[in-house]
Amino acid sequence: MVLALILLLWAVDAVARVAAQSVASQRIQAAAGLDGRPEVRVRGPLFLPQLFGGSYGRLEVDLDEVIRDGLRLAPAHVDLHGLRLPFGDLVGGAVDRVEVERTTARAQVGYDDLNRWLAQQGQQLTVSAGPSGGARVDGSVSVAGQPVQVGGEVSLSVEDGRVRVSPAPAGGEPSATPFAFTLPLGDLPYGQRLTAVRPGPQGLQVEAEGTDVVLER
Protein backbone atom coordinates (compact mmCIF):
# COMPACT_ATOMS: atom_id res chain seq x y z
CA MET A 1 0.00 0.00 0.00
CA VAL A 2 2.80 2.40 0.92
CA LEU A 3 4.70 1.58 -2.26
CA ALA A 4 1.56 2.09 -4.34
CA LEU A 5 0.99 5.50 -2.74
CA ILE A 6 4.59 6.53 -3.38
CA LEU A 7 4.30 5.49 -7.03
CA LEU A 8 1.01 7.38 -7.36
CA LEU A 9 2.51 10.55 -5.91
CA TRP A 10 5.54 10.20 -8.17
CA ALA A 11 3.27 9.84 -11.21
CA VAL A 12 1.18 12.87 -10.22
CA ASP A 13 4.36 14.88 -9.63
CA ALA A 14 5.70 13.91 -13.07
CA VAL A 15 2.43 14.77 -14.86
CA ALA A 16 2.18 18.11 -13.06
CA ARG A 17 5.80 18.92 -13.96
CA VAL A 18 5.18 18.26 -17.67
CA ALA A 19 2.03 20.39 -17.65
CA ALA A 20 3.80 23.27 -15.91
CA GLN A 21 6.72 23.10 -18.34
CA SER A 22 4.28 23.45 -21.23
CA VAL A 23 2.65 26.52 -19.65
CA ALA A 24 6.05 28.05 -18.89
CA SER A 25 7.17 27.45 -22.48
CA GLN A 26 4.18 29.37 -23.82
CA ARG A 27 4.70 32.26 -21.41
CA ILE A 28 8.42 32.51 -22.14
CA GLN A 29 7.78 32.43 -25.88
CA ALA A 30 5.33 35.33 -25.59
CA ALA A 31 7.51 37.36 -23.23
CA ALA A 32 10.61 37.06 -25.40
CA GLY A 33 8.81 37.46 -28.75
CA LEU A 34 10.16 34.17 -30.06
CA ASP A 35 8.99 32.51 -33.26
CA GLY A 36 9.51 28.98 -31.94
CA ARG A 37 8.45 27.35 -28.69
CA PRO A 38 11.42 26.93 -26.31
CA GLU A 39 12.12 23.71 -24.43
CA VAL A 40 11.63 24.22 -20.68
CA ARG A 41 12.69 21.97 -17.81
CA VAL A 42 11.78 22.53 -14.15
CA ARG A 43 14.68 21.36 -12.00
CA GLY A 44 14.47 19.87 -8.52
CA PRO A 45 13.81 16.34 -7.21
CA LEU A 46 10.10 17.02 -6.52
CA PHE A 47 7.82 19.39 -8.39
CA LEU A 48 4.62 19.48 -6.30
CA PRO A 49 6.21 21.28 -3.31
CA GLN A 50 7.43 23.98 -5.72
CA LEU A 51 3.98 24.14 -7.34
CA PHE A 52 2.02 24.55 -4.12
CA GLY A 53 4.61 26.90 -2.65
CA GLY A 54 4.53 29.13 -5.73
CA SER A 55 8.33 29.26 -5.86
CA TYR A 56 10.56 27.40 -8.32
CA GLY A 57 14.29 27.02 -7.74
CA ARG A 58 15.50 26.80 -11.33
CA LEU A 59 14.05 26.50 -14.80
CA GLU A 60 16.24 25.65 -17.78
CA VAL A 61 15.24 27.09 -21.15
CA ASP A 62 16.75 25.94 -24.46
CA LEU A 63 16.08 27.94 -27.61
CA ASP A 64 16.93 26.81 -31.12
CA GLU A 65 17.74 30.37 -32.10
CA VAL A 66 17.38 34.01 -31.12
CA ILE A 67 17.59 36.71 -33.79
CA ARG A 68 18.48 40.29 -32.87
CA ASP A 69 18.78 42.97 -35.56
CA GLY A 70 19.34 40.29 -38.19
CA LEU A 71 22.08 38.54 -36.21
CA ARG A 72 21.36 34.91 -35.34
CA LEU A 73 22.36 33.35 -32.03
CA ALA A 74 22.08 29.57 -32.03
CA PRO A 75 21.76 27.69 -29.85
CA ALA A 76 20.88 29.65 -26.70
CA HIS A 77 20.44 28.44 -23.12
CA VAL A 78 18.87 30.39 -20.24
CA ASP A 79 18.60 29.51 -16.55
CA LEU A 80 15.81 31.20 -14.58
CA HIS A 81 16.56 31.24 -10.84
CA GLY A 82 13.95 31.96 -8.17
CA LEU A 83 10.82 32.04 -10.32
CA ARG A 84 7.69 33.11 -8.41
CA LEU A 85 4.23 32.02 -9.55
CA PRO A 86 1.48 31.77 -6.87
CA PHE A 87 -0.46 28.51 -7.00
CA GLY A 88 -3.80 30.36 -6.90
CA ASP A 89 -2.92 32.39 -10.00
CA LEU A 90 -1.92 29.25 -11.86
CA VAL A 91 -5.12 27.37 -10.95
CA GLY A 92 -7.32 30.38 -11.68
CA GLY A 93 -5.69 30.98 -15.07
CA ALA A 94 -4.72 34.53 -14.05
CA VAL A 95 -1.07 34.25 -15.05
CA ASP A 96 -0.34 37.64 -16.61
CA ARG A 97 3.15 38.06 -15.17
CA VAL A 98 5.85 35.87 -13.70
CA GLU A 99 8.66 37.28 -11.56
CA VAL A 100 12.19 35.88 -11.70
CA GLU A 101 14.93 36.79 -9.24
CA ARG A 102 17.89 36.15 -11.52
CA THR A 103 18.73 34.86 -14.99
CA THR A 104 21.94 33.61 -16.56
CA ALA A 105 22.35 32.81 -20.23
CA ARG A 106 24.85 31.67 -22.80
CA ALA A 107 24.59 31.56 -26.57
CA GLN A 108 26.72 31.18 -29.66
CA VAL A 109 27.10 33.49 -32.63
CA GLY A 110 28.32 31.03 -35.26
CA TYR A 111 31.02 32.22 -37.61
CA ASP A 112 28.84 31.46 -40.64
CA ASP A 113 25.95 33.50 -39.19
CA LEU A 114 28.32 36.30 -38.22
CA ASN A 115 29.90 36.44 -41.68
CA ARG A 116 26.46 36.45 -43.28
CA TRP A 117 25.47 39.39 -41.10
CA LEU A 118 28.71 41.25 -41.94
CA ALA A 119 28.00 40.82 -45.65
CA GLN A 120 24.50 42.24 -45.14
CA GLN A 121 26.10 45.29 -43.52
CA GLY A 122 28.30 45.79 -46.58
CA GLN A 123 31.45 44.63 -44.80
CA GLN A 124 34.02 42.68 -46.81
CA LEU A 125 35.29 40.85 -43.76
CA THR A 126 35.07 37.28 -42.50
CA VAL A 127 35.63 36.01 -38.97
CA SER A 128 36.96 32.53 -38.24
CA ALA A 129 38.67 30.50 -35.54
CA GLY A 130 42.32 31.46 -35.09
CA PRO A 131 45.21 29.00 -34.83
CA SER A 132 45.90 29.77 -31.16
CA GLY A 133 42.36 29.35 -29.85
CA GLY A 134 41.29 32.92 -30.55
CA ALA A 135 39.38 34.43 -33.47
CA ARG A 136 40.72 36.20 -36.53
CA VAL A 137 39.44 38.54 -39.23
CA ASP A 138 40.37 38.51 -42.90
CA GLY A 139 39.20 40.66 -45.80
CA SER A 140 39.45 44.26 -46.88
CA VAL A 141 38.35 47.67 -45.64
CA SER A 142 38.19 51.05 -47.32
CA VAL A 143 40.77 53.63 -46.27
CA ALA A 144 40.58 57.03 -47.96
CA GLY A 145 38.50 55.42 -50.68
CA GLN A 146 41.04 52.70 -51.33
CA PRO A 147 40.69 49.00 -50.42
CA VAL A 148 43.20 47.80 -47.84
CA GLN A 149 43.73 44.12 -47.07
CA VAL A 150 43.51 43.19 -43.41
CA GLY A 151 44.09 39.98 -41.54
CA GLY A 152 44.98 38.85 -38.05
CA GLU A 153 43.70 37.89 -34.64
CA VAL A 154 41.10 40.05 -32.94
CA SER A 155 40.33 41.31 -29.47
CA LEU A 156 36.79 40.79 -28.12
CA SER A 157 35.11 42.95 -25.49
CA VAL A 158 31.68 43.98 -24.21
CA GLU A 159 30.93 47.71 -24.39
CA ASP A 160 27.54 49.28 -23.66
CA GLY A 161 25.66 46.05 -24.25
CA ARG A 162 27.44 45.30 -27.53
CA VAL A 163 30.21 42.96 -28.54
CA ARG A 164 33.15 44.91 -29.97
CA VAL A 165 35.56 43.24 -32.36
CA SER A 166 38.86 45.05 -32.91
CA PRO A 167 42.45 44.20 -33.88
CA ALA A 168 44.44 42.43 -31.19
CA PRO A 169 47.53 44.35 -29.98
CA ALA A 170 50.75 43.08 -31.53
CA GLY A 171 53.83 42.91 -29.30
CA GLY A 172 52.14 45.00 -26.63
CA GLU A 173 51.49 47.87 -29.05
CA PRO A 174 48.08 48.86 -30.45
CA SER A 175 47.47 47.46 -33.91
CA ALA A 176 47.49 49.84 -36.85
CA THR A 177 45.12 47.60 -38.82
CA PRO A 178 42.17 49.88 -39.69
CA PHE A 179 39.06 47.91 -38.75
CA ALA A 180 36.65 47.50 -35.86
CA PHE A 181 32.95 46.72 -35.61
CA THR A 182 30.28 45.99 -33.02
CA LEU A 183 27.54 43.38 -32.87
CA PRO A 184 24.03 44.57 -31.89
CA LEU A 185 23.24 42.27 -28.99
CA GLY A 186 21.96 44.82 -26.48
CA ASP A 187 18.26 43.89 -26.78
CA LEU A 188 18.40 40.37 -25.36
CA PRO A 189 15.42 38.31 -24.11
CA TYR A 190 14.21 38.85 -20.52
CA GLY A 191 16.00 42.19 -20.18
CA GLN A 192 19.38 40.55 -19.83
CA ARG A 193 22.67 42.35 -20.34
CA LEU A 194 25.84 41.04 -21.90
CA THR A 195 28.61 40.23 -19.44
CA ALA A 196 31.27 38.33 -21.41
CA VAL A 197 32.36 37.14 -24.84
CA ARG A 198 35.05 34.69 -25.86
CA PRO A 199 36.06 32.93 -29.08
CA GLY A 200 35.21 29.29 -29.70
CA PRO A 201 35.96 26.78 -32.44
CA GLN A 202 32.55 27.25 -34.09
CA GLY A 203 31.72 30.83 -33.17
CA LEU A 204 31.72 33.54 -30.53
CA GLN A 205 30.40 32.45 -27.13
CA VAL A 206 28.45 35.18 -25.33
CA GLU A 207 27.18 35.26 -21.76
CA ALA A 208 24.48 37.44 -20.22
CA GLU A 209 22.61 37.88 -16.96
CA GLY A 210 19.63 39.71 -15.54
CA THR A 211 18.03 40.45 -12.17
CA ASP A 212 14.43 41.09 -11.10
CA VAL A 213 13.11 39.97 -14.46
CA VAL A 214 9.37 40.09 -15.18
CA LEU A 215 7.81 37.86 -17.84
CA GLU A 216 4.56 39.44 -18.98
CA ARG A 217 1.90 38.29 -21.39
**pLDDT tens-digit profile of 57-114?**
888 989 888 888 889 988 889 898 998 877 766 665 566 677 889 999 999 999 999 9
Residue 8 has pLDDT above 70, yes or no: no
Distance CA 36, CA 101 (A): 25
Picking from 56, 148, 142, the residue whose alpha carbon sits closest to that of residue 98 is 56
pLDDT band at 177 (very low <50, low <70, confident <90, very high): low
Greater pLDDT, 11 or 58: 58
Alpha carbon 185 to its chain centroid, in Å, reads: 10
Greater pLDDT, 49 or 153: 153
Instruction: Kindly report which listed range (8-22, 66-80, 89-103, 145-159) carries the lowest average pLDDT score.
Output: 8-22
Q: What single-letter DSSP state applies at residue 190?
A: G
What pTM value is reported for the model?
Answer: 0.81
Instruction: Kindly report which listed range (84-88, 113-117, 120-124, 132-136) carries the lowest average pLDDT score.
Output: 84-88
Residue 7 has what pLDDT?
A: 45
Residue 106 has what pLDDT?
A: 92
pLDDT band at 150 (very low <50, low <70, confident <90, very high): confident
Distance CA 68, CA 66 (A): 7
Residue 92 has what pLDDT?
A: 58
Residue 217 has what pLDDT?
A: 62
Greater pLDDT, 125 or 217: 125
Which residue intervals of the chain are DSSP H helices? 2-32, 48-53, 87-92, 111-120
Which residue intervals of 37-105 are DSSP H helices? 48-53, 87-92
The fraction of the chain above a pLDDT of 90, given in percent, is: 27
| Residue 60 CB neighbours (<10 A) | 15
Residue 202 has pLDDT above 80, yes or no: yes
